[in-house]
Chains A and B, each alone.
Chain A
Amino acid sequence: MNGIKTLADLKRKQEEVMSRMGQRNRGENPESLVQVKVAMATCGIASGAKEVMEYFMDELDRKEIDAVVTQTGCMGYCFAEPTVEITLPGREAIVFGYVDIRKAGEIIERYIGEGELLDGIIPQNYNTI
């Protein structure tokens, strides 16, 4: 442990720890942030969902976009794995299918960044109660 000698030291330390704990603190106000849910059931993991999730976390962090990245169970679109559900603040959730790392980059850049709709949206064919 190094000493904290100035206020700037303290702020630096805070940032350093924050980046490790970020997901926990952001989880407290998910409504106001971008929410990314990666389907991580057996089918998803087999198709590479783990890597995609990792990519989302790193890339959103690098771009300094406040987002909550969570994993969820099978969404039922096993044919289109990996599937990712994105909820922008104040908008309906949208599910993207066949998300590989290239597609994930595009989603972050264009949908999360610019709010533009992309190809690859899976129409929601069920209602939740």
Chain B
Amino acid sequence: MSKYKMHLLVCGGTGCHSSESYRLYETLRDQVEKRGLERDVQVILTGCFGFCEKGAILKVMPDNTFYTQVKPSDAEEILDEHIIKGRRVHRLLYTNPETEEHVPDSKQMDFYRKQLRIALRNCGAVDPENIDESIARDAYQALGKALTEYTPAETVDLIKRSGLRGRGGAGFPTGLKWEIAARNGADQKYVVCNADEGDPGAFMDRSILEGDPHSVLEAMAICGYCTGASKGLVYIRAEYPLAIKRLKIAIGQAREYGLLGEHILGTDFSFDVTLRYGAGAFVCGEETALIHSMEGKRGEPSNKPPFPAQSGYLGKPSNVNNVETFANIPVIILKGAEWFSAIGTGRSKGTKVFALAGKINNVGLIEVPMGITLREIIYEIGGGIKNGKKFKAVQTGGPSGGCLTEKHLDTPIDYESLTAAGSMMGSGGMIVLDEDDCMVSVAKFYLGFIVEESCGKCAPCRIGNKRLHEALTRITEGKGEADDIDRLRNLGTVIKDTSLCGLGQTSPNPVLSTLDNFMDEYREHVHDRKCRSGQCRGLLFYVISKDDCIGCMACRRVCPTHAISGEKKGVHVIDQHICIKCGACMEKCQFDAISLRNDYPRATAAAAVQEESSTHS
């Protein structure tokens, strides 16, 4: 069999897909064929490389060349120069933003240097639509090892000793979960993969399914062997079309090879996987709601107990794990529990995938060992804050999480310390905020999401969150009342204590953690009517500068509410009570005399509002 001398790996993740990586792949393949190199050069579409900031990504192996922002029109040059003549195309190489030097080798990139890719081990390294490539990288070897060398109980014990905990958010020990499911006897049991990834900004589950579907299928089979289940179900949202397509292909190929189905690898163990589609509701990430949705019922959570391990899908014992959790399993079995538990901190073992987003230079998907600090993630892997701005906070854990601030920069990241800091691991969204972000608005954004996504079954979550959102909206519009801050804290605590499921129990976290860390900003909004970052339009004022206004009357004519007064050739003034902040005057002014300010008539405006409210009462 002939060997390929060079491999062109084109990122086929959703991010790069929208940067036309699919056309790049086709063009490269055509060009390779045109030159008669198809026996020497292999072109494949892979899963996500994680460096989504600079898609489309093309990696050339074996020389580890990392090209960024490659367009289909670059294909010809890459082939002529790099593939045939061996000269790298310098203009497409990744450029280090600090030194402005080209980095030819991806191993030298800061983005990859601190990462440890376990769950993402095959993303960007194999063609997810070809099972052979996954097999070459150990796919199904762990299943074979478990089936032939270990009993189910021994396998569960191995997972327990590894210290692996659920990567979906709550961090329940995976081995223990399997043990409970195994203990419950029944004629039929189920393994469920939770691929209902709903946190705004998180996309690690999608990337794993798109880049390495076999790792998840294999782990589900292993889980089936351990718990005594013969059926696996992947609950995936219908809005992940590419992940669904690749999963379907992977299931088809695994069945064809006999790696799913009856008597796997000549043993008595049989296991098969089917897909169930969700409509994309955040609450369906909660396991009881997920199971109800799979049964065709409303996606609403129910009380625990009974736990799914006792009575889950169709009333049968079911084990629900998250995609990323599953992706860790095969490696743990092949390399051993000790290898895995040596990575990470005291009670948080292994690695965690984070989706880095927001005001950061290297937006993308990263996998880091537990215990790494926020500083390392933001300033080394992430390449620092965009445009050299000042770091303010990082929001972790999505709508269930909270904000970490500068004082947490050196806290090691693991389940316990994140919870102690008032946030949570969550599924791993990490949104970086800089000095231009208003923390009250951030809290309002997440509460808005919760109000949309609350299923409405229990009152604290349905009504309470709505009230929280209303109070936050008031505050950001400059209509905050003096006791709004206390009300937010009281109501938030009640919702946390009384909601039915995990969604409601964590939904006030964005408010509570911003109250803890950014009380100053809340006070400023309510008492001083000021938004220091200038994000809240309701707290901004259009102001005409006395020095620059020449009294041309242009702004006065354009103002739709006649808020501007002033004589010709005299200084004009905006009446803040009438101004609706449309900005028409600023646009019209030819002399840059009108500016948008967040501190101008602070005292005057506050006094005016008070005066107004006292006359009303």
Which A positions have Cβ atoms within 8 angstroms of B? 1, 3-7, 9-11, 13-14, 16-28, 30, 39-42, 53, 57-58, 61, 68-73
Closest to B132 in A: A17
B86 at the interface (CB under 8 A from A): yes
B314 at the interface (CB under 8 A from A): no
Residues 172-187 of B contacting A (Cβ, < 8 Å): none
Closest to A58 in B: B3
Task: Specify which chain B residues have a CB less than 8 angstroms from the CB of A14 in the assembled complex.
Answer: 135-136, 138, 141
Given A7-B265, A57-B3, residue A17 in contact with residue B133 (CB < 8 A):
yes
Which B positions have Cβ atoms within 8 angstroms of A? 1-7, 9, 42, 61-64, 84-87, 125, 132-133, 135-138, 140-141, 144-145, 147-148, 253, 256-259, 265-266
* Complex Cα–Cα for A3 and B85 (A): 41
Residues B125 and A24 in contact, CB atoms below 8 Å apart: yes
Residues A73 and B259 in contact, CB atoms below 8 Å apart: no
Most buried by A among B6, B63, B64, B86: B86
Residues A16 and B256 in contact, CB atoms below 8 Å apart: no
Closest to A3 in B: B258
Residues A10 and B64 in contact, CB atoms below 8 Å apart: no
Residues B136 and A23 in contact, CB atoms below 8 Å apart: no
Interface residues of B: mostly helix, strand, loop or mixed?
mixed
List, sorted by A's number, 21 A–B pairs whose CB atoms are closer than 8 Å. Answer: A3-B256, A4-B258, A5-B266, A6-B266, A7-B148, A10-B141, A10-B265, A14-B136, A14-B141, A18-B136, A19-B3, A20-B3, A21-B7, A21-B136, A27-B63, A28-B61, A30-B64, A40-B84, A57-B3, A68-B62, A70-B63
Task: Specify which chain A residues have a CB less than 8 angstroms from the CB of B258 in the assembled complex.
Answer: 3-5
Task: Specify which chain A residues have a CB less than 8 angstroms from the CB of B2 in the assembled complex.
Answer: 20
Residues A23 and B3 in contact, CB atoms below 8 Å apart: yes
Across the interface, B256 reaches (CB within 8 A) one of A1, A22, A27, A61, namely A1
* Complex Cα–Cα for A92 and B66 (A): 25
Task: Specify which chain B residues have a CB less than 8 angstroms from the CB of A11 in the assembled complex.
Answer: 141
Task: Specify which chain A residues have a CB less than 8 angstroms from the CB of B138 in the assembled complex.
Answer: 14
Interface residues of A: mostly helix, strand, loop or mixed?
helix
Residues B266 and A27 in contact, CB atoms below 8 Å apart: no
* Complex Cα–Cα for A92 and B313 (A): 61
Residues B265 and A6 in contact, CB atoms below 8 Å apart: yes
Task: Specify which chain B residues have a CB less than 8 angstroms from the CB of A41 in the assembled complex.
Answer: 85-87
Across the interface, A23 reaches (CB within 8 A) one of B62, B132, B140, B266, namely B62
Task: Specify which chain A residues have a CB less than 8 angstroms from the CB of B9 in the assembled complex.
Answer: 24
* In the A-B complex, the 7 residue pairs with the closest CB atoms: A27-B62, A17-B136, A7-B144, A3-B258, A27-B61, A73-B87, A24-B61
Nearest-CB distance from B235 to chain A (Å)?
Answer: 28
* Complex Cα–Cα for A51 and B266 (A): 44
Task: Specify which chain B residues have a CB less than 8 angstroms from the CB of A9 in the assembled complex.
Answer: 265
Given contacts A24-B62, A26-B62, 19 further A-B contacts (CB under 8 A): A4-B140, A4-B258, A5-B265, A6-B265, A7-B148, A10-B265, A14-B135, A14-B141, A17-B132, A20-B2, A23-B4, A27-B63, A27-B64, A41-B85, A41-B86, A53-B5, A58-B3, A72-B63, A73-B87
Task: Specify which chain B residues have a CB less than 8 angstroms from the CB of A24 in the assembled complex.
Answer: 4, 7, 9, 42, 61-62, 125
Residues A21 and B85 in contact, CB atoms below 8 Å apart: no
* Complex Cα–Cα for A16 and B1 (A): 9
* Complex Cα–Cα for A9 and B144 (A): 11
Nearest-CB distance from A69 to chain B (Å)?
Answer: 7
Task: Specify which chain B residues have a CB less than 8 angstroms from the CB of A20 in the assembled complex.
Answer: 1-4, 136
* Complex Cα–Cα for A1 and B145 (A): 23
* Complex Cα–Cα for A53 and B83 (A): 14
* Complex Cα–Cα for A129 and B2 (A): 37
* Complex Cα–Cα for A40 and B83 (A): 10
* Complex Cα–Cα for A30 and B87 (A): 19
Nearest-CB distance from A68 to chain B (Å)?
Answer: 5
Nearest-CB distance from B174 to chain A (Å)?
Answer: 24
Residues A21 and B133 in contact, CB atoms below 8 Å apart: yes
* Complex Cα–Cα for A72 and B63 (A): 9
